[in-house]
Amino acid sequence: MKNLKLKLKGLALVAILTFSLSTAFASGNLRINNYLNTDYSIVSVFNTSTTNLKLKVYNEEGDLFYSETIEAETNMQKLFDLSHLADGNYALVLVGKNTRIEEQFVVKEQKLAVSTERTQIAECKNNNSSYAFKK
């Protein structure tokens, strides 16, 4: 009887861990970066789940500015014009069943404001035109 309870507890623990790992890896990845020196930004979405997700943009008051469905198992990049947004804090959110990924960003002077620790600069590493990224 004691052995059966121990096996059931172990089985329950494995089920919980499996579910939590599957939802962690079955979601996706979300990124926003500057597009050159313009008002535009590039949003990259990697939906690795088997279900559709919603890409949404909110301001800090919770007002919705944009919404789009991202098909299951889809990778996409989209150019966003931030010049119509007021300066302030915003959230780029990828949501679905059991999934919520949020990337905070700041608009300043009608452009994406990125801190220096997030900026990646491509530089020529040698004369063979191979590039390395540095932080």
According to DSSP, residue 97 is labeled: T
DSSP H helices, 1-135, are: 2-25
Cα 116 from Cα 28, distance rounded (Å) = 25
Which architecture, in CATH terms, is 27-134?
Answer: Sandwich (2.60)
User: Which pLDDT tens digit goes with each residue over 71-112?
Assistant: 999 899 999 999 889 999 999 999 998 889 999 999 998 889
Say whether pLDDT at 49 is over 50: yes
This prediction has a pTM of 0.64
The domain ranges of the chain are 27-134
